[in-house]
């Protein structure tokens, strides 16, 4: 919300009052005097008028979770445990997922209460790389490398997938880098070669890599450097 609108929404101020308050330098946002009526006020912003706190501001929270198999990437579910059930945090209902993983996919999951940050994480135009370790039922055909790099046609959506990078690590194991997140994309890509995916684990999103010290089901707060990646 714009700063002038935030102030105008308070019962005691009209638009003229707001202009005068801003011009006189009496309003501070996050400790700094702010005269810009178009400045953005978020739920995390601390807004003060003289010595009076108009909005204390919530603490922004950012976590990485090592999602285990069999846990749903959702905030609530009638049948399965959700990723929020794994968190020992207050006000968990305020948190949401920055991207999802299928029930039978493990690995890095980002959780936050910062909607703008999570939109940057998941925005298609950002083309943030997502790296997966893939295990397949049959040996991986080396032809996959070139086909994935060129893109695969998905008839249901009538689209061509973005170029993907495949590195074969073992006969039935590979490292796959995607720049988008289509429905069951990895399984469908290998399904094009009649090869079933039997194991899928996300290693990283953008510049954030899953902490190897985290066991499945464990989580930790993101560092300032990790938060700044998006």
Quick check: 3 and 34 in contact, CB under 8 A? yes
Could you give the C-alpha distances from 13 to 18, 20, 51, 105, 213, in angstroms and in order?
6, 10, 17, 52, 52
188 φ/ψ sector (left φ>0, alpha ψ -120 to 50, else beta): alpha
User: Cα-flanking dihedrals φ and ψ of residue 93, to 5°?
Assistant: -65, -15
What are the residues whose beta carbons fall under 8 Å from the beta carbon of 70, sequence distance 6 or more? 80, 81, 103, 104
What does the angle CA 193 – CA 196 – CA 201 come to, to the nearest 5 degrees? 115
The first and second tokens of residue 168, run together, are 């074969």
Catalytic, 102? Answer yes
Catalytic option among 85, 102, 141, 211: 102
The first and second tokens of residue 230, run together, are 């998006």
CA 103 to chain centre: 17
Burial of 105 (0-12, 13-18, 19+ CB in 10 A): buried
Just list the catalytic residues. 102
């Amino acid at each position: 919300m714009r700063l002038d609108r935030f102030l105008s929404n308070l019962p005691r101020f009209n638009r003229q009052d707001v202009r005068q308050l801003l011009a006189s330098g009496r309003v501070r946002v996050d400790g700094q005097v702010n005269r810009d009526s178009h400045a953005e006020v978020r739920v995390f912003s601390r807004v003060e008028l003289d010595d009076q706190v108009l909005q204390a501001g919530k603490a922004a929270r950012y976590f990485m979770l090592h999602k285990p198999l069999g846990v749903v990437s959702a905030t609530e579910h009638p049948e399965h445990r959700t990723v929020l059930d794994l968190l020992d945090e207050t006000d968990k209902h305020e948190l949401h997922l920055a991207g999802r993983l299928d029930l039978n996919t493990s690995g890095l999951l980002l959780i936050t209460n910062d909607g703008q940050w999570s939109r940057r994480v998941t925005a298609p135009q950002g083309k943030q790389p997502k790296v997966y370790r893939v295990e397949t039922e049959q040996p991986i055909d080396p032809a996959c490398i070139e086909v994935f790099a060129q893109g695969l046609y998905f008839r249901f959506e009538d689209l061509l997938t973005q170029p993907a990078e495949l590195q074969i690590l073992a006969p039935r194991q590979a490292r796959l880098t995607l720049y988008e997140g289509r429905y069951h994309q990895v399984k469908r890509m290998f399904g094009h070669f009649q090869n079933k995916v039997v194991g899928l684990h996300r290693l990283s999103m953008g510049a954030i890599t899953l902490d190897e010290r985290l066991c499945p089901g464990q989580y930790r707060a993101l560092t300032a450097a990790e938060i700044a990646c998006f």
